Amino acid sequence: MKELMIALQTAPDAAHGQQTPLYEQIYLAIRRDIEDGRLPRGEKLPSTRLLAANLNVSRFTVNLAYEQLVSEGYLQARAGSGFFVCDLSDLYDGLTRDVRPAQEPEVYAGRPGIVPEQTIRIDFSPFSVDAEHFPYRSWKRCSKEVLDHTDDLLLAREAEGDYALRETIATYLYRARGVNCAPEQILVGAGNEYLLMLVVQLLGAKKAVVMDDPTYIQAYEVLTHAGYQVLAGASDRNGLLCDTAQMSRADIAYVMPSHQFPMGTVMPLARRQELLDWAARQPGRYILEDDHDSEFRYIGKPIPSLQSRDRRDCVIYFGTFSKSISPALRMSYMVLPRHLGELFHAQFGSYSSTVSTQQQLTVNCFMKTGDFERHLNRMRRVYKAKHDYLLRELKHRSWVESIHGENAGLHLVVTVRTAMSEEELLNQALHRGVQLYGLGGYRINKEQQPDHSCVTLLFGFGGLTEEQISEGLDILDELLKS
């Protein structure tokens, strides 16, 4: 075990006027040592207690750094033994590449059927967001500013979307997600489903796509309706397994590496590199990276995108404002490899943008003024409080078998003990005014036989208050104990 010599900066940076958080300084220093080979594979790191004492910081600070490194696949935590460096021998070359933007921007369900809404008192939807804390005043100010410039408002926009908005998105993605792109590579559209349909037109027909099972069912439906063959990929706790028969037959892999929906899996660094290597083995292979829920991570910092490691232009990146602003906005964006961006402009440049100019200009104003990132920071605190409350409440319920997908996103995956089938449980809860979402509705392989002694549910918390969460769980107490 080596001692770690880390010089921590405790005063604000003179250039930027702010201090990098201590846990992030520790995380970055250890990551650099691993990437540069100074910490070889299998090396045991000092205990959190020892390192905290050596650096004169709290154990909580060191824990945050270690947990971030575990999440990204740099470290492995062994129960009772400590933290060890993972085998990254094949990844060093990929880790050291320059990921500066190509053009540096300016810095500035068991889905239950439709039921009458008034019969539902508590909806555990994994797609709902908190409306109470929306910054209406800031949004109204941006909307007014856009309406005051009517000449600009009435001008037609490119098929790819407003150029100024795409510049702003490129800046944000580079800073927040490590995405390396120019505005010309970005397309703005009315939802991820629409953008997926554009990808189908770009890549052509008769493709085979491999997806996690269970998966994000809306994407599955778009791809199957487009005539693509969708393969249910084999997965483990780290995500898609790359050396499988399904992967060998596929032209495209659809993944959510930062927070897979619905299971909440975070794909570690080594598996991400395996996926990139899979795409590189055969010309014409692509990875569709849906960065679902990436903004909301409650321990450590957001995990860098898969696109940030792509050196072969094989990753198509999807992002959305549905969770970060509102699902009612219906605005998403896609980052294409340069050659596909050029192909889209040449073949489909005559398309009309599917998002209104007014909405695009308002979102651009919202982001440029800093209101967007202030809103995100506020909502991380709001959602973390709800996440922690739901987690605590679930741990006290006798019918809870296991909980997965915590510490990120807007839902938890909960396996419950019950003699009822998934359909029976959802219907019984609905009769009591509680809308539940079962894992079965998100499966590709509908013939897969679940464990009849358990049912797995998705508990969304974004749109609920703590009182509603508690009331909903109390109703389930009565239902599952009867």
142 and 83, same structural domain? no
Query: Quick one: angle between helices 466-481 and 422-431, nearest 10?
Result: 120
3 located within any domain = no
Which residue do the tokens 């797995």 mark? 456
Q: By the 8 A CB rule, do 307 and 317 touch?
A: yes
The tokens for 323 are 């969770």
Max CA separation in the chain (angstroms): 66
pLDDT for res 201: 95
Q: What is the dihedral of CA 258, 262, 263, 266, to 10 degrees?
A: 0
125 and 166, same structural domain? no
Q: What is the pLDDT of residues 332-370, one digit of tens each?
A: 999 999 999 999 999 998 998 999 999 999 999 999 999
pLDDT for res 451: 62
Q: How many domains are contained in the chain?
A: 3
Which residue do the tokens 């396996």 mark? 415
Residues of the chain with pLDDT under 70: 1-2, 11-19, 89-118, 447-452, 482
Give the CATH number, domain containing residue 272. Answer: 3.40.640.10
Q: How many CB atoms lie within 10 A of CB 25?
A: 20
What is the spatial distance between Cα 157 and Cα 50, in angstroms, rounded to a whole number? 58
What is the spatial distance between Cα 46 and Cα 329, in angstroms, rounded to a whole number? 48
459 located within any domain = yes
Q: What is the pLDDT of residues 16-32, one digit of tens each?
A: 456 678 888 898 999 98
88 and 121, same structural domain? no
Q: What is the dihedral of CA 417, 422, 423, 429, to 10 degrees?
A: 50
112 located within any domain = no
Give the CATH number, domain containing residue 62. Answer: 1.10.10.10
334 and 280, same structural domain? yes
| Domain extent at residue 420 | 117-132+374-481
Residue 169 carries which DSSP code?
A: H
pLDDT for res 102: 40
| Contacts for 32-37: CB closer than 8 Å, 24+ residues apart | 33/4, 34/69, 34/74, 34/85, 34/88, 35/88, 35/92, 35/95, 35/96, 37/92
What is the spatial distance between Cα 103 and Cα 161, in angstroms, rounded to a whole number? 18
Tell me, rounded to whole angstroms, the distance of Cα 456 from its chain centroid: 21
123 located within any domain = yes
Geometric angle at alpha carbon 45, from 40 and 46, rounded to 5°: 150
pLDDT for res 17: 53
313 and 352, same structural domain? yes
417 and 310, same structural domain? no
Last residue of a domain, one of 320, 349, 370: 370
Geometric angle at alpha carbon 96, from 91 and 98, rounded to 5°: 135
Q: By the 8 A CB rule, do 123 and 461 touch?
A: no
pLDDT for res 459: 97
The tokens for 235 are 């997965």
384 and 342, same structural domain? no
259 and 191, same structural domain? yes
Whole-prediction pTM: 0.82
User: H/E element holding 473?
Assistant: helix 466-481
What is the spatial distance between Cα 174 and Cα 180, in angstroms, rounded to a whole number? 6
- What three-state secondary structure class fits 421? coil
Q: By the 8 A CB rule, do 480 and 453 touch?
A: no
